[in-house]
């Protein structure tokens, strides 16, 4: 799909075959990433060790980034890698290190409300799945009218997202930078030890 | 024109969402609760990106998911700072052991 524009010189049948192969690869990769994401997310909940939970969350976030690439969202995938894997996860690991006594036998976290938690989460999952399967989303009218070839002739979505950020959503964009500044200052202020300063 | 079916992406996001809910409800340590919240953010983002695939000119879903990622990052920074303060004050980060003393 990504190479569709580059293959104009080849004959139609060859292009068809290459497209089919790429599509099969895409589908296989999607299910691989999906299974990886679900398994490591489940391990995050099931394990008692905090550090194992953090690293299995890392695998989940990486798989979700891979799925973003398969959904033609390359910029979002890179942002996911940089912000989540590079920033939030490091913060979480710092939080684990700083908020548990390391001289305990290991950093463990017990589970409470197991029955109620499983019940509520299972009910939410069943309800959402039933709705998704019943709603017949693929048959929505506006999904039929749009073509699925997102990228078209351009190579990536970076240019369209950049133009959009600077025109249509420029006010939320600036507000977001303000929010980041406020969050940074607030986090630094809250975490400071006031007695020692 | 075989694509990855939209329903399967939505089902994956539903599974991730309920696992996040399970982590939020059933974990005692505050940092693991935050990890569950991050998982919920990711599940929501997956929906936005999946529908944005059908919106090639405007890419509204992708732009919106950018803002979601940004707010999630700010939330994680502030929440972890609060967790650190709570740990310094109560000497524990387990949510069910935090007892506010009576005056």
Please state, as a whole number, how many other Cβ atoms lie within 10 Å of the Cβ of residue B46.
25
**Whole-angstrom distance, CA of residue A87 vs CA of residue A98:** 16
Q: Do A67 and B27 touch (CB under 8 A)?
A: no
Q: What percent of chain B has pLDDT over 70?
A: 95
Highest CATH level, class, for A4-111: mainly alpha
- Whether A162 and chain B come into contact, CB under 8 Å, resolves to no
Q: What is the pLDDT of residues A69-94, one digit of tens each?
A: 998 888 999 999 999 988 889 999 88
Residues of A in contact with B72 (CB under 8 A): 83-84, 88
Residues of B in contact with A184 (CB under 8 A): 77
CA A127 to chain centre: 22
Q: What is the pLDDT of residues B33-58, one digit of tens each?
A: 999 999 999 999 999 999 888 876 76
Using CA atoms, how far residue A141 sits from A25, A137, B48, B85, in Å, is 28, 9, 18, 51
Q: Do A98 and B84 touch (CB under 8 A)?
A: yes
Which residues, given as ranges, of chain A have pLDDT below 50? Answer: 1-2, 4-10
Question: For an interface test with A, which of B34, B52, B76, B90 has the most A Cβ atoms less than 10 Å from its Cβ?
Answer: B76
Q: Do B52 and A73 touch (CB under 8 A)?
A: yes
DSSP structure class, residue A127? H
The ipTM, to two decimals, is 0.90
A 22-51: CB under 8 A from B: 23, 26-27, 30, 34, 37-38, 41-42, 44-45, 50
Q: What is the pLDDT of residue A12?
A: 59
Residues of A in contact with B58 (CB under 8 A): 164
What torsion, rounded to 10 degrees, do the Cα atoms A30, A151, A176, A192 define? 40
Q: What is the pLDDT of residue A5?
A: 47
Q: What is the pLDDT of residue A7?
A: 45
Pick from A114, A143, A161: CB nearest B26: A114
Q: HSE (CB half, 13 Å, CA atoms) of B15?
A: 16
Q: What is the pLDDT of residue B38?
A: 93
| Burial degree of B15 (CB within 10 A; 0-12, 13-18, 19+) | buried
Q: What is the pLDDT of residue B89?
A: 85
Q: Do A176 and B23 touch (CB under 8 A)?
A: no
Distance from CA of B100 to the nearest CA of A (A): 18
Contact criterion met (CB below 8 Å) for B31 and A95: yes
Angle of the B60-90 helix axis to the A158-167 helix axis, nearest 10: 80
Domain range annotation of chain B: 26-93
Pick from B46, B53, B78: CB nearest A72: B53
Domain range annotation of chain A: 4-111, 157-197
């Amino acid at each position: 799909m990504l190479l569709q524009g580059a293959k104009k010189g080849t004959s139609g049948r060859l292009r068809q075959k290459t497209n089919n192969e790429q599509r099969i690869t895409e589908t296989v990769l999607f299910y691989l990433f999906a299974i990886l994401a679900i398994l490591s997310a489940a391990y995050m909940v099931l394990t008692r060790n905090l550090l194992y939970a953090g690293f299995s969350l890392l695998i989940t976030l990486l798989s979700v980034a891979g799925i973003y690439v398969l959904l033609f969202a390359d910029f979002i995938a890179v942002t996911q890698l940089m912000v989540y894997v590079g920033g939030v996860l490091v913060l979480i690991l710092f939080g684990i290190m700083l908020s548990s006594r390391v001289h305990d036998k290991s950093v463990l976290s017990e589970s409470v409300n197991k029955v109620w938690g499983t019940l509520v989460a299972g009910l939410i999952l069943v309800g959402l799945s039933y709705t998704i399967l019943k709603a017949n989303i693929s048959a929505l009218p506006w999904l039929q009218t749009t073509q699925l070839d997102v990228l078209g002739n351009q190579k990536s979505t970076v240019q369209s997202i950049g133009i959009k950020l600077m025109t249509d959503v420029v006010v939320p964009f600036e507000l977001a930078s303000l929010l980041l500044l406020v969050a940074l200052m607030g986090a630094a202020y809250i975490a400071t030890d006031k007695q020692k300063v | 024109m075989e694509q990855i079916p939209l329903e399967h992406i939505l089902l994956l996001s539903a599974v991730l969402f309920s696992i996040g809910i399970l982590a939020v409800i059933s974990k005692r340590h505050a940092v693991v609760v935050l990890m569950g919240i991050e998982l919920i953010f990711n599940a929501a983002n997956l929906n936005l990106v999946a529908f944005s695939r059908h919106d090639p000119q405007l890419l509204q879903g992708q732009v919106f998911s950018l803002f979601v990622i940004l707010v999630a990052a700010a939330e994680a920074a502030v929440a972890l700072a609060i967790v650190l303060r709570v740990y310094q004050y109560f000497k524990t980060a387990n949510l069910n052991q935090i007892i506010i003393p009576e005056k």
